[in-house]
Structure 1
Amino acid sequence: MAEPLPSLMLPRSSWIRESSHRAWLNAQGARLLDFSKPSRVGEGFGALDDRGHLPPDAVADTTLTARMTHVYAIAGNRGFLGCLPLAAHGVASLLGPLRDPEYGGWFETSGMARDEADGGRKQAYLHAFIVLAASSAVVARVDGARPLLEEALSVWERRFWSEDEGVFRESFARDWSDEEDYRGANANMHSVEACMAVADVTGNSVWRDRALRISERFMHTYAKAMDYAVPEHFSREWVLLRDFNRDKPTDDLRPYGLTPGHFLEWSHLLLKLEAALLREDGEAPAWLFEDSVGLFHAGMRAGWERDGAPGVLYTVDFSLKPVVHVRPHWCQAEALTAAAALLKRTGNACYEKWYRTIWDYVDLFMIDREAGGWHQELDRHNRSSAVVYPGKADLYHAWQATLAPLLPLAPSFATAVAALDG
């Protein structure tokens, strides 16, 4: 059974121990779940606009469908009404119209699925979320989840995993030819999350070992050497691509430079991996904790209030000079989750201070009390913006930030929630 409080290290004065704060987190999570329910479309889930409405031309986005399936499966398992039917819709969509019946794997959108001439590329980033969604749906006993997980794992392992490198390959053409000359930290970061979830759901520790190998290469080797400023873009020969996407600084997945929000996301993933290894094996490399601390502080130095206003900004260059000043909602969510994780791991008051500071910022600036949900991004003056992330498509990051403080660091979300009443 999961522990009722996240950690005995928490000081008695911590917000996370306060029943009123925990109730606020639950209420905020429920509000986010309700806001995103209209994103359901015939073949999955589509992107909502700023008012929480589906545009007339909305199509199913497969990454979004996987994320929604993951979230609604866990929320349904917690007893939130209306969520399990949405998770079941997501599973059916991933088994049906979003899947490539000819070559295997998944299309990026339902539109690509109908375009036999193209079909787009097969992305590691997308497939990691399908694996995560399937694993969460299995825990929630959603119909079709088990065959979805089996197929997704088969594709993910056979097509994307590089045993020699200990990382996931980036992308291929629809027929699995033309491997991209690229190794990316972002897709592998989300693969670490998915690997830990799969290890918990299947009982197969090889996935946890793979999460450790990915983390060791990207964090303990490359990021540590750069004082925990996380390098994102590499060639297949592991040459750092310092100018990658210099002409596309606002790219939503592979922006030029460094992304402080990712420093913070890696920080809490390393702590969760440490906890998972300790829980299962009784030992974990000391560097997981040491690197987590380094990543958190590097991320807050590089990202927080860099231009005179609060919030974690989007990107900086290799000298840590701000490049894109907008404050994406996901950066704040990952900062919250990292602060909560380090607070649970250490009891150090500095992480309590950061946890409160970031939540106060989110409450005062990012939560949209007029139209609902969270603003997906704010500009450098903390006004609503749409430079990188228009509309309000994403539920995954914000909702997980409301759940993470309520749970132990291990096991992963779906398994931990299922254990709460076990």
Structure 2
Amino acid sequence: MSAPAWPDRPTHVGWLEQHLLGLLRFGRRTAADGGGAHWLDDDGAPDPSRGIQTWVTSRTVHVYSLGTLMGVPGCAPVVDGALAGLTGRLRDREHGGWFSSLDVDGRPEDGKSAYAHAFVVLAASSATAAGRPGAEALLAEALEVFDRRFWDVDAGLPVDTWDTAFSTLDGYRGINAAMHTTEAMLAAADVLAVVLGDEATARTCRRRATGILSKVASWAAANDWRVPEHFDAGWRVQLEYNADRRDDPFKPYGATVGHGLEWARLLLHGEAAALAAGEEPPADAVASSRALFDRAVADGWSVDGRDGFVYTTDWWGAPVVRDRMHWVAAEATATAAALWLRTGDQAYADRYAQWWDHVATTVLDHEHGSWHHQLDADNRPSGTVWPGKADLYHAVGATLVPRLPLQPSLAVAVREGLWRAPADA
């Protein structure tokens, strides 16, 4: 009899659990006085110079809601402290919605983004699953704002950026915001259906997510499975967008390897969610997921003589930014686990083991904790794009996806006790 695949080994599941607990300890100081969450430095200490970011705050609510649901002491106060920022000073009481960030003096940044608002929906969903005070009302408000301000009914996709007063819509459309909208809508659908008993709104959220997934898979298939990242107001592809800002943290030029991996995984979650609800899943979801995965790995993994995933490539697969971002490695392990779970193909379990070895030996910061958020092309810690260790979202996800079914989404799955403990593996 052959040895079980890594995701099935009790010792590995135990390692994931211990690593998750270590990550939650690392971020324990993130909640900010006055509400919200701090960006963390290399040691896990708050970095006030970065202000209070809505996306960091929302990811913190999400992560520590998962910890709360798992019964990890000390997580609930972090949730409540960060959540107070979303119900308080990050919320625009005049124009509605949420500021993208507050500067060091507490002044709001101009503009409002779908990216940040999608994370507010995710945060409110997870906090509602965890039963935190104020979360259910926040979820209702976040969905209403997203529906009214960011959802383009005709396109079946989210717009990207407004001015602060919601009076002028920018002409840019982006795949990054669409990706996190997909994640947020799947999460909200599960919380609405399972926790709140609102199947009608859950159905709307779920169908929006699967509609986005179908469009993105179609675009990627027409582009040799490299996901187009940038579009104009008519959703026409802009392949040369940000050619002069190639390492932008949110809108880099070219194909983003990690996004190919994330879309591959989201296709599997979207398929599972639709099938569980008796709805039509994205067409050819598994085949598309495999193709996205294969393209991202071929273009991104160890292509310059050293292990690690390059950040971006051009539209023919040549590396553009060779630095390695921690979130790409995290998404690689999670996607390999999801594909192994869906297909049973041992090749995905082998990749999963290979990449966790890489993470453990190269990406984890064994001295200070958490993961180095950026490594240079020689796998040395760097901070040109991602200084410090902003948050725990991707790393925590990498510890949970291998231990959960593809559906429901993380918070509801943990709430329902569906995660595998070491004794269950």
Q: TM-score range by the shorter chain?
A: over 0.9
Unaligned stretches of 5+ in structure 1? 1-10
After TM superposition, which residue ranges in structure 1, 4 or more long, deviate above 6 angstroms?
Answer: none
Q: Which has the higher contact order (CA 8 A, sep 6+)?
A: 1
Residues 1:369 and 2:366 are matched in the alignment: yes
Partner residue of 1:31 out of 19, 22, 26: 22
Unaligned stretches of 5+ in structure 2? 194-201, 420-425
Show the counterpart of 1:143.
133
Show the counterpart of 1:208.
206
User: Compared with structure 1, are the counterparts of its residues 55 and 285 closer, same or farther at alpha carbon in structure 2 (3 Å cutoff)?
Assistant: closer
Q: Indicate if the aligned counterparts of 1:38 and 1:53 stay in contact, CA closer than 8 A.
A: yes
Show the counterpart of 2:172.
182
Show the counterpart of 1:233.
230
Equivalent position amino acid for 1:206 in 2: T
Worse-superposed segment, 58-67 or 282-291: 282-291
RMSD of aligned Cα (Å): 1.6
What SS is found at the alignment partner of 1:205?
Answer: helix
Identity across matched positions, percent = 43
1:351-394 CA distance string (max 9 Å, x none):
01100010000000011111111100111111111121111112
User: Compared with structure 1, are the counterparts of its residues 121 and 257 closer, same or farther at alpha carbon in structure 2 (3 Å cutoff)?
Assistant: same
Q: Give the CA deviation at 1:96.
A: 0.4
What SS is found at the alignment partner of 1:375?
Answer: coil
1:304-348 CA distance string (max 9 Å, x none):
011111111101111111111011000001111110000001111
Partner residue of 2:154 out of 151, 164, 175: 164
TM-score (norm 1): 0.94
**Distance (Å, rounded) in 2 between the aligned partners of 1:180 and 1:282:** 34
Q: Indicate if the aligned counterparts of 1:121 and 1:173 stay in contact, CA closer than 8 A.
A: yes
1:14-40 CA distance string (max 9 Å, x none):
111111110000001111111111122
TM-score (norm 2): 0.93
Task: Summarize the alignment of residues 3-152 of structure 1 with structure 2, pairs less than 5 Å apart.
Answer: 13-42=4-33, 43-55=35-47, 57=49, 59-111=51-103, 114-115=106-107, 119-152=109-142
User: Compared with structure 1, are the counterparts of its residues 158 and 305 closer, same or farther at alpha carbon in structure 2 (3 Å cutoff)?
Assistant: same
Show the counterpart of 2:285.
288
Show the counterpart of 2:324.
327
Show the counterpart of 1:8.
none
Q: Indicate if the aligned counterparts of 2:161 and 2:169 stay in contact, CA closer than 8 A.
A: yes
Residues 1:250 and 2:241 are matched in the alignment: no
Equivalent position amino acid for 2:66 in 1: I
Q: Give the CA deviation at 1:55.
A: 3.2
What SS is found at the alignment partner of 1:216?
Answer: helix
Partner residue of 1:155 out of 135, 141, 145: 145
**Distance (Å, rounded) in 2 between the aligned partners of 1:95 and 1:348:** 45
Equivalent position amino acid for 2:253 in 1: Y
Q: Give the CA deviation at 1:53.
A: 1.9
Equivalent position amino acid for 1:106 in 2: W
How many residues end up aligned between the 2 structures?
A: 409
Q: Give the CA deviation at 1:113.
A: 9.2
Q: Give the CA deviation at 1:75.
A: 1.0
Q: Give the CA deviation at 1:54.
A: 2.1
What SS is found at the alignment partner of 1:281?
Answer: coil
**Distance (Å, rounded) in 2 between the aligned partners of 1:63 and 1:189:** 14
User: Compared with structure 1, are the counterparts of its residues 197 and 56 closer, same or farther at alpha carbon in structure 2 (3 Å cutoff)?
Assistant: closer
Show the counterpart of 1:5.
none
Residues 1:261 and 2:258 are matched in the alignment: yes
**Distance (Å, rounded) in 1 between the aligned partners of 2:50 and 2:226:** 37
What SS is found at the alignment partner of 1:323?
Answer: strand
Q: Give the CA deviation at 1:288.
A: 1.1
Q: Give the CA deviation at 1:282.
A: 6.3
Show the counterpart of 1:223.
220
1:147-176 CA distance string (max 9 Å, x none):
111111110011000110000010100011
Q: Give the CA deviation at 1:58.
A: 5.0
Q: Indicate if the aligned counterparts of 1:112 and 1:119 stay in contact, CA closer than 8 A.
A: no
Q: Indicate if the aligned counterparts of 2:329 and 2:359 stay in contact, CA closer than 8 A.
A: yes
Equivalent position amino acid for 2:148 in 1: R
Q: Indicate if the aligned counterparts of 2:230 and 2:238 stay in contact, CA closer than 8 A.
A: yes
Show the counterpart of 1:395.
392
**Distance (Å, rounded) in 1 between the aligned partners of 2:390 and 2:281:** 37
1:231-282 CA distance string (max 9 Å, x none):
1000011221121111111110000111011000000000011111111216
